[in-house]
Amino acid sequence: MAIQPIILAGGTGSRLWPLSRELYPKQVISLTGELSLLQTTVQRVAALEDALPPIIVVGEEHRFLAKTQVEELDLFRDFCILLEPCGRNTAPAICGAAAYVSNLGRGGDVLLVLPADHLIVKAEEFAQAVREAVLLAQQGQIVTFGIVPDHPETGYGYIAKGQGGTVESFVEKPDLATAERYLASGNYLWNSGMFAFTADTLLAELQVHAPAIVECMAESVGTGKVDGLFFRLGSEAMATCPSDSIDYALMEKTSRAAVVEADLGWNDIGSWLALWEVSEKDGQGNAVRGDVLLEDVHNSLIRAEHTLVAAIGLHDTMVIETADAVLVAPMNRSQDVKKIVDKLKKDKRGEYHVHRTVFRPWGSYTTLEMQERFQIKRITVNPGARLSLQMHHHRHEHWVVVSGTAKVQNGEQTILLKEDEATYIPSCTVHRLENPGVIPLELIEVQIGSYLGEDDIVRFDDEYGRAPE
């Protein structure tokens, strides 16, 4: 029986703002090494015996980031990205993946469900825990992985162990006194959010405990469409699906729950404090990344992404610098970062949503300056890639090539531009930018107009599925 990894790569990681944004979430960021958390999760499943290429569940807006990062690893010839048209929490996501696998005639396969944004240090212990979980899943159990706690953590849910690997109960995140009591008893495990079960078992149990989710997601899969390595779930059916976590929808209700106890060096990196705990530190207990100078700083997390950060006399403090935002807070207030994100959303500020650099399937753009009637961007187009055929109603664009070669369709004219050459795109002119070369194309774009929003784009043709049908 094969193992089908299901990697849940949705979510935004708002407690890791300002590094994590809605369009560049924590699972695609390199937090603990050179690779992103998603990439290390893909590596982890690639090392398992009998594992098939993974199915990665992501939202539409993250599909090309996920695709690029998995392809960079070059570990699988085939993998599938299951696209969610809207977020409905983990129960619909997992149910949709199970229904997709079942529709392929593989309902008996063991699904190994893993969040994309977790850290697991002990690879062999993880592989052994998976082997134990697969055996239980083959017997019709719905298996969760319980992490052996090493400190009284208030940021995780807990699993109360029953006899013979059963689950006595799931409990919410406790206060400190309760967490200390759980740790002392030796009878409680951290709830990791990782699972194993066959597709048939999961769907049968969800049919008993959450039939509306099964009905909606079965229809969503049935009306879904294949688009290369993407599978687009049907949007109308998923929009009507109840939003619920797999814990609430199923795990707290099923009589088939089992737990595999595991010591994996696990951390969900759900906050800056959690990242500090798993990071390498200097002799003063500081975890540092980037261009940082310290004087009399202890037990702090200092991260510089774009410029020099100097700190003096800080203790138990986090300082996170990005191009457009800086976060400074006591380390023990790391869970409150989400409150800042909520305020940014309420005030309709873009800093919760995007960085100054925004990644696109063809490359990226970086906003260098933005004023009321003009903005300046640096645009990078990957070799062989091209933007959509498009037009803007409210802005004119000036393009200057910095390096590489640009193929430009400007109205009825198509031209090649080389380094230090330029063109002008008037508003309401159909145009397209392409990189026909073998090195990245870099150009500076100056936009001038009465409205400069990214939604002033009319697409006529697009290789990446963004054009209206």
Helix (H) or strand (E) holding 367: strand 363-370
Report d(CA 147, CA 126) in Å as an integer: 11
Name the 3-class secondary structure at 154.
coil
Residue range 423-428: mean pLDDT, rounded: 95
Residue range 210-221: mean pLDDT, rounded: 96
Residue 218 has pLDDT above 60, yes or no: yes
pLDDT class for 292, splitting at 50, 70, 90? Answer: very high
pLDDT class for 453, splitting at 50, 70, 90? Answer: confident
State the pairing for strand pair 287-289/301-304. parallel
Residues spanned by CATH 2.60.120.10 within the chain?
Answer: 357-461
pLDDT for 469:
41
318-375 confidence digits (pLDDT tens):
999 999 999 999 999 998 999 999 999 999 999 999 899 988 889 999 999 989 899 9
Residues spanned by CATH 3.90.550.10 within the chain?
Answer: 3-267
* CATH match of 3-267 with 3.40.50.11540: no
Report d(CA 443, CA 408) in Å as an integer: 12
How far out from the chain centre does Cα 386 lie? 25
254-266 confidence digits (pLDDT tens):
999 999 999 999 9
- The structure tokens listed for 183 are 């740790």
Helix (H) or strand (E) holding 260: strand 257-262
Q: To the nearest 10°, report the CA torsion of 50, 92, 105, 223.
A: -140
pTM here?
A: 0.88
Average pLDDT of every residue of the chain? 93
43-96 confidence digits (pLDDT tens):
999 999 889 999 999 998 888 899 999 999 999 888 999 999 998 999 999 999
Residue 1 has pLDDT above 70, yes or no: no
Domain topology for 357-461 = Jelly Rolls (2.60.120)
172-203 confidence digits (pLDDT tens):
888 899 989 989 988 899 999 999 999 999 99
Residue range 12-33: mean pLDDT, rounded: 90
Name the 3-class secondary structure at 4.
strand
